[in-house]
């Protein structure tokens, strides 16, 4: 399974105005059991943190979720602890997002075109 969304925020967006945020890349390896991905994403959405980029794909019998989030150090700690405590999560890693990952539009345009065509078929417009 691969899910991608386009980046919509800038690197200076601050969720907590008094704390400095930075774009951080998270890698989570987890067993692809019912609801695990949603629990991982819920840890982000419950804090009203936008998810400008995420991707999930199979990896060595597990699933790998990569998230790029604009977060404060405190939020990073909270997220990593919450994800680590989530059942079926095997590994949680964080690193500073590099420029390519931050700036590259996701998904590629051709994927959007396919998705739009499929949606149009579903709606009887193609």
What span, in angstroms and rounded, lies between the C-alpha atoms of 99 and 49?
Answer: 20
Q: In this complex, which beta carbon is closest to another protein, that of residue 37 or of residue 102? A: 37
> In this structure, are residues 22 and 11 in contact, taking their beta carbons and an 8 Å threshold?
yes
For another protein, what does the binding mask look like between residues 39 and 58, x meaning CB under 8 A?
x--x---x------------
- Helix boundaries (H) for the chain: 36-45, 73-84, 99-103, 109-122
- Indicate which single residue of 6, 12, 59, 81 sits in contact with another protein (rule: CB under 8 A): 81
- Interface stretch with another protein, choices 6-14, 48-56, 89-97, 106-114 (CB under 8 A): 89-97
3-state SS class at 88: coil
Nearest distance, CB of residue 87 and another protein, angstroms: 5
């Amino acid at each position: 399974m691969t899910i991608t969304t386009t980046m919509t925020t800038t690197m200076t967006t601050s969720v907590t105005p008094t704390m400095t945020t930075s774009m951080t890349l998270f890698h989570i390896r987890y067993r692809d059991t019912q609801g695990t991905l949603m629990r991982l994403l819920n840890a982000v959405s419950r804090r009203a943190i936008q998810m400008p980029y995420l991707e999930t794909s199979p990896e060595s019998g597990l699933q790998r979720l990569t998230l790029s989030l604009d977060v404060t150090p405190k939020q990073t700690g909270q997220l990593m602890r919450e994800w680590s405590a989530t059942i079926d999560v095997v590994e949680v890693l964080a690193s500073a997002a590099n420029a390519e990952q931050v700036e590259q539009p996701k998904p590629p345009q051709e994927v959007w075109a396919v998705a739009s065509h499929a949606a149009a078929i579903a709606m009887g417009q193609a």
